[in-house]
């Protein structure tokens, strides 16, 4: 039976130490460190994704919607969250790689990777719906993700049980280049898939806005409109890296914020007029509240112009999308 190289490496270091009585598993210490590791970074020092969370689609073509939503679910699982792909990579490159054998090394594992891969595989299994460019990009994500997941899991015991203390980082020096390449391949694959999906998302949002306006469903119309402006703000500032320091960007940003504020005010007025006694804990009220917080975060970003302030704005946007996705499950397709 053939084992992955990192698993064989882990066995090499575990077995002799276990037999001689020198093996001490101390996951409680390491896990405590991991739970609290560099929390300020996970809260905003690096982007979670280039796009934020992606919106689900809902239309009359059920199979197409199911395929796309499986892809979107997979993307969101892997790319959105405090310990999603980018924050984990940031911890790996800025801290894990620079550690010494005397440190308690923080070894990041991408939260949601396994579940996200399951969603991507489900989406690609809908062969009756062909999306050649997107399917090819997703296939690359699956291949890169499976490699990263395997190498993460086979490397984890080495760091969790602090074997690097006993071999003076010899095993780590073999593991690090493998994981570096895994991360690079996964990030490139997910960014390509994300750029395709974000374009499709804008087209879907514009389609829904047209349908809502034709039906004179102005709450739905203004909700979609506010989210479209929010998406355009995210895309305005997410590239290149120094764009949050570009004062010219804020001219367009201020315009988009003003339009989003108007759409949200119109949405809220209609809701208050028609449904004054509604439960405001979810649905479009939740979307409204998160986007209002995004507007406040934008003004902080405009003042501070830091990566942290931008990522906090991104977090509010992703929260709004997550509320939207929950609401869409109970909405009638248009």
Q: How many helices (H) and strands (E) does the chain have?
A: 13, 0
Please report where in the chains the tokens 């062969």 appear, as a residue.
127
More confident residue, 334 or 40: 334
Alpha-carbon distance of 329 to 71, in angstroms, equals: 16
Alpha-carbon distance of 104 to 169, in angstroms, equals: 12
Could you give the residue ranges of the DSSP H alpha helices within the chain? 5-19, 27-36, 39-42, 62-79, 85-91, 113-124, 132-160, 164-167, 170-215, 218-237, 249-274, 283-304, 307-328
Burial class (CB in 10 A: 0-12, 13-18, 19+), 334: middle
Average pLDDT over residues 55-65: 89
pTM beyond 0.75: yes
More confident residue, 2 or 125: 125
Q: How is residue 332 annotated by DSSP? A: P
Delineate the domains of the chain, giving CATH numbers in brackets.
25-30+38-200 (no CATH), 216-334 (1.20.120)
Alpha-carbon distance of 63 to 319, in angstroms, equals: 27
What pLDDT was estimated at residue 19? 30
Taking residue 277's Cβ as centre, other Cβ atoms within 10 Å add up to 5
What pLDDT was estimated at residue 329? 81
SS3 for 100? coil
Alpha-carbon distance of 73 to 191, in angstroms, equals: 15
Nearest to 103 by CA among 9, 153, 37: 37
Each residue's pLDDT tens digit, 285-310: 999 999 999 999 999 999 999 888 99
Alpha-carbon distance of 8 to 14, in angstroms, equals: 10
Alpha-carbon distance of 201 to 235, in angstroms, equals: 13
More confident residue, 49 or 236: 236
Phi and psi based region of residue 168 (left: phi greater than 0; alpha: psi -120 to 50; beta: remaining): left
Six-digit token string for 232: 């355009």
CA distances from 138 to 158, 182, 205, 211 (A): 31, 16, 22, 29
Q: Could you tell me the pLDDT band of residue 13, with boundaries at 50, 70 and 90?
A: very low
The answer to whether the beta carbons of residues 223 and 205 sit under 8 Å apart is no
Each residue's pLDDT tens digit, 95-130: 999 999 999 998 999 999 999 999 999 999 999 999
Alpha-carbon distance of 325 to 90, in angstroms, equals: 28
CA dihedral 290, 296, 297, 300 (to 10 degrees): -170
What pLDDT was estimated at residue 45? 52
Tell me what percent of the residues of the chain surpass a pLDDT of 90: 72
Alpha-carbon distance of 312 to 299, in angstroms, equals: 11
What pLDDT was estimated at residue 108? 92
Taking residue 251's Cβ as centre, other Cβ atoms within 10 Å add up to 9
């Amino acid at each position: 039976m053939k084992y992955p190289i990192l698993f064989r490496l882990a066995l090499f270091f575990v077995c002799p130490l276990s037999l001689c009585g020198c093996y001490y598993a101390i996951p409680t210490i390491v896990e405590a460190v991991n739970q609290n590791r560099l929390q300020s970074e996970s809260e905003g020092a690096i982007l979670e994704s280039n796009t934020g969370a992606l919106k689900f689609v809902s239309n009359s073509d059920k199979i197409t919607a199911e395929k796309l939503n499986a892809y979107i679910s997979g993307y969101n699982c892997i790319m959105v969250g405090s310990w999603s792909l980018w924050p984990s990579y940031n911890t790996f490159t800025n801290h894990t790689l620079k550690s010494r054998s005397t440190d308690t090394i923080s070894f990041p594992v991408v939260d949601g990777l396994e579940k996200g891969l399951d969603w991507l595989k489900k989406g690609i299994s809908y062969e009756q719906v062909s999306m050649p460019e997107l399917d090819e990009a997703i296939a690359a994500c699956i291949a890169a993700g499976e490699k990263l997941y395997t190498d993460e899991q086979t490397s984890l015991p080495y760091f969790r049980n602090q074997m690097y203390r006993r071999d003076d980082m010899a095993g780590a020096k073999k593991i690090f280049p493998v994981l570096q390449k895994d991360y690079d391949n996964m990030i490139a694959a997910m960014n390509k898939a994300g750029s395709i999906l974000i374009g499709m998302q804008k087209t879907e949002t514009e389609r829904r806005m047209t349908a809502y306006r034709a039906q004179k469903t102005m709450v739905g119309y203004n909700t979609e409109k506010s989210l479209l402006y929010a998406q355009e703000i995210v895309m305005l500032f997410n590239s290149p890296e120094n764009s949050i320091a570009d004062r010219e960007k804020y001219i367009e940003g201020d315009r988009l914020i003003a339009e989003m504020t108007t759409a949200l005010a119109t949405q809220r007025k209609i809701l208050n007029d028609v449904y004054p006694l509604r439960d405001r804990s979810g649905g479009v009220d939740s979307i409204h509240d998160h986007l209002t917080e995004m507007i406040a975060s934008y003004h902080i970003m405009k003042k501070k112009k830091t990566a942290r302030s931008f990522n906090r704005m991104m977090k509010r946007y992703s929260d709004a999308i997550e509320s939207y996705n929950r609401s869409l499950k109970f909405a009638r397709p248009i």
